[in-house]
């Protein structure tokens, strides 16, 4: 039976400031405190670093007044929300707790630790006690060493989480009031405007560019033609913002007007003098990302600022854009022909040189004349890459041939391995691996039982925390090593089985498409990782299961060599 060790308090001895001066009474320290401060948002009225400093001053004073603790380390998270625990300083503190650098955590109040009721409660009720760490929330009067505190803590955590939800509702109400009054209070300032106070005003340097885009489209220029014209003459929106912030423009910054940028300007209600809010939603409580709201939930505020185009022209542009979409559907979908149907690879086919997805094109809506071309080449005036033009038929043949050869090798090699595994030497190896696996399994079970018993000894006080950590770590390493070794033996045994089978998911896909006579979208989705088109039109195909096939072929080569 292991003997329980005794804790030894350590003493901080104050240096003598002058010779002959008697030392101050030593402070008997048994708690090495980690001070933690957090604030989630920085504003002009309330700079976080100053507030963090205020929190730290409070915590330092608290420790100074205690005879049983000293400050081991300070931690601060700036601009980090309390609704989750993915914070750099908090994670550093948790690692120091595990390493024994601190054995007491002190915060200003429970909300500084976190505002999520479930996760905060888990740390206070489970994690800290397991590592024998004292937890103190100063202004809440919470101390984990005092009896009865566990009854108060869940209520305070729940209040903190309710505060977050209530604050979220109040913020939404405040934003709605600002929207109704015509204030611009969130989001990026649109190209063509400047922000003056809480309102938008036309930017004298770019407002005419926006008006020009609308005029050219109304005159019959296509979006692509407009983007090409602007690329040679006008700094694009992102480069313009960069320039205004004092950044240095690169050689290609002025020639990067993209069709998607022009389309965004043509469809943005802000240029007709309106704000459209509430297009997206994001929950700070449930930690979900942004999602698009249905159009009927959008909040449209009319005539909030000076428009750059008339409402009549804006509406006419929307009608023209809608007609273009309808015409595209009619010519590319209504007669049974559409890109999605014939573009079997989607975003899996890329330019081998620039890495961009290849653009799919047809001539005269004829599916017998479909091609892929590099999108960098198509979308920029400077043609930042070459065309890489290749016919869709050539791509589909190359991809289908690669998949078909892949499937043939899989089936043939698997059968060959299974056949050689019926030989006497293979059977002998199969049995030897099985016996070794059985031996390791017994040893693993024994090590696991010992490790489980250690925790019981720790809970019963038969061994202290240091002894538990050391012995448990040793057995954890042994269990890991034995588990890996057992996996190796079982895998090796399976490779010599007369019922040998390749990976289930891979083989299922092979059997699913083995009898296909041509490439289908489903086959491409199942097998293709990437198809790369080189400048000379050659096609390099990478399949999802190439690594598995490589391993199978290596195994087969080893069997043939015996």
Q: Which domains are delineated in the chain? A: 10-15+23-167 (3.40.50.1390), 193-326 (3.90.1750.20), 399-561 (no CATH)
Does 534 have pLDDT greater than 90?
A: yes
Q: In what order do the strands lie in the sheet with 539-543?
A: 349-351, 528-533, 539-543
Nearest alpha-carbon partner for 34 in 111, 87, 98, 107: 107
> Do strands 349-351 and 280-283 pair parallel, antiparallel, or not at all (unpaired)?
unpaired
pLDDT in tens, 270-288: 898 887 766 665 544 333 4
Give the torsion through C-alpha atoms of 449, 450, 451, 455, to 10 deg: 100
pLDDT for 36: 95
pLDDT for 378: 77
> Do strands 528-533 and 349-351 pair parallel, antiparallel, or not at all (unpaired)?
parallel
* Burial per residue of 364-375, b for 16 or more beta-carbon CB atoms within 10 angstroms, e otherwise: eeeeeebbbbbb
pLDDT in tens, 155-200: 554 555 555 555 555 555 555 555 555 556 556 788 988 888 777 8
Question: Token digits for 227?
Answer: 């983007």
What pTM was estimated for this model as a whole?
0.46
Mean of the per-residue pLDDT values of the chain: 78
Residue 2 pLDDT grade (very low, low, confident, very high; cuts 50, 70, 90): very low
Question: Token digits for 139?
Answer: 């202004």
Other beta carbons within 10 Å of 36: 24
Q: What average pLDDT score do residues 37-49 get?
A: 57
Residue % of the chain over a pLDDT of 90: 26
Question: Token digits for 323?
Answer: 């007609």
pLDDT for 9: 38
pLDDT for 480: 85
pLDDT for 15: 39
Q: How far apart are alpha carbons 293 and 172 in whole angstroms?
A: 15
401 φ, ψ (degrees, to nearest 5): -65, -40
pLDDT for 210: 93
pLDDT in tens, 382-399: 567 888 999 999 999 999
Does 424 have pLDDT greater than 60?
A: yes
Other beta carbons within 10 Å of 552: 22
Is residue 122 within 8 A of residue 116, CB to CB? The reply is no
Give the residue, 122 or 430, on which the prediction is more confident.
430
Q: What average pLDDT score do residues 322-345 get?
A: 67
Residue 322 pLDDT grade (very low, low, confident, very high; cuts 50, 70, 90): confident
Is residue 523 within 8 A of residue 404, CB to CB? The reply is no
Is residue 103 within 8 A of residue 68, CB to CB? The reply is no
pLDDT in tens, 192-250: 888 887 778 899 999 999 999 999 999 999 888 888 888 878 888 888 888 887 766 65
pLDDT for 278: 60
Other beta carbons within 10 Å of 338: 17
Does 86 have pLDDT greater than 90?
A: no
Q: What average pLDDT score do residues 473-485 get?
A: 86
Q: How far apart are alpha carbons 130 and 135 in whole angstroms?
A: 12
Is residue 301 within 8 A of residue 275, CB to CB? The reply is yes
């Amino acid at each position: 039976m292991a003997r329980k060790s005794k804790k030894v308090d350590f003493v901080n001895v104050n240096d003598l400031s002058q010779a002959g001066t008697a030392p101050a009474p030593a402070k008997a320290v048994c708690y090495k405190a980690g001070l933690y401060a957090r604030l989630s948002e920085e504003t002009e009225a309330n700079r976080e670093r100053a507030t963090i400093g205020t929190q730290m001053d409070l915590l330092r004073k608290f420790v100074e007044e205690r005879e049983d603790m000293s400050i081991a380390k300070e931690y601060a998270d700036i601009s980090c929300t309390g609704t989750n625990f993915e914070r750099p300083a908090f994670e550093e503190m948790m690692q120091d707790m595990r390493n024994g650098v601190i054995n007491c955590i002190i915060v200003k109040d429970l909300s500084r630790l976190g505002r999520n009721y479930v996760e905060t409660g888990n740390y206070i009720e489970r994690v800290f006690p397991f590592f024998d760490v004292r937890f103190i929330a100063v202004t809440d009067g919470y101390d984990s060493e005092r009896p009865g505190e566990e009854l108060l803590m869940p209520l305070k955590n729940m209040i903190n989480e309710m505060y977050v939800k209530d604050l979220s509702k109040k913020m939404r109400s405040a934003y709605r009031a600002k929207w109704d009054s015509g204030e611009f209070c969130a989001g990026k300032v649109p190209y063509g405007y400047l922000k003056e106070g809480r309102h938008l005003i036309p930017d004298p340097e770019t407002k005419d560019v926006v008006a020009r885009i609308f005029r050219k489209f109304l005159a019959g220029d296509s979006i692509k033609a407009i983007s090409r014209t602007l690329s040679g003459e006008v700094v694009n929106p992102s480069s313009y913002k960069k320039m205004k912030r004092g950044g240095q423009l690169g050689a290609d910054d002025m020639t990067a007007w993209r069709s998607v940028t022009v389309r965004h300007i043509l469809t943005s209600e802000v240029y007709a003098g309106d704000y459209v809010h509430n297009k997206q939603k994001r929950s700070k409580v449930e930690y979900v990302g942004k999602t698009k709201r249905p159009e009927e939930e959008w909040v449209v505020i009319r005539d909030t600022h000076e428009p750059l185009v008339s409402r009549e022209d804006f509406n006419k542009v929307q009608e023209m854009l809608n007609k273009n979409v309808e015409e595209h559907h009619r010519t590319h979908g209504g007669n049974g022909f559409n890109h999605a149907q014939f573009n079997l690879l989607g975003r899996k086919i890329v330019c081998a040189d620039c890495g961009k997805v290849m653009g799919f094109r047809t001539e005269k809506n004829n599916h017998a004349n479909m091609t892929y071309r590099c999108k960098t080449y198509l979308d920029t005036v400077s043609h930042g890459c070459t065309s890489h033009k290749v016919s869709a038929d050539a791509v589909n043949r190359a991809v289908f041939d690669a998949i078909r050869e892949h499937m043939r090798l899989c089936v043939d090699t698997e059968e060959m391995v299974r056949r050689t595994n019926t030989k006497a030497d293979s059977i002998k190896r199969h049995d030897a691996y099985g016996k070794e696996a059985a031996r390791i399994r017994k040893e693993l079970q024994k090590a696991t039982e010992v490790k489980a018993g250690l925790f019981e000894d720790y809970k019963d006080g038969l061994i202290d925390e240091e002894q538990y950590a050391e012995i448990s770590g040793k057995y954890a390493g042994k269990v890991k090593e034995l588990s890996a070794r057992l996996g190796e033996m079982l895998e090796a045994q399976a490779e010599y089985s007369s019922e040998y089978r390749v990976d289930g998911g891979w083989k299922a896909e092979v059997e699913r498409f083995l009898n296909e006579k041509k490439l289908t979208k489903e086959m491409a989705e199942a097998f293709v990782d990437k198809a790369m088109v080189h400048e000379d039109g050659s096609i390099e195909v990478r399949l999802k299961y190439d690594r598995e096939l490589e391993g199978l072929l290596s195994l087969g080569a080893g069997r043939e060599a015996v």
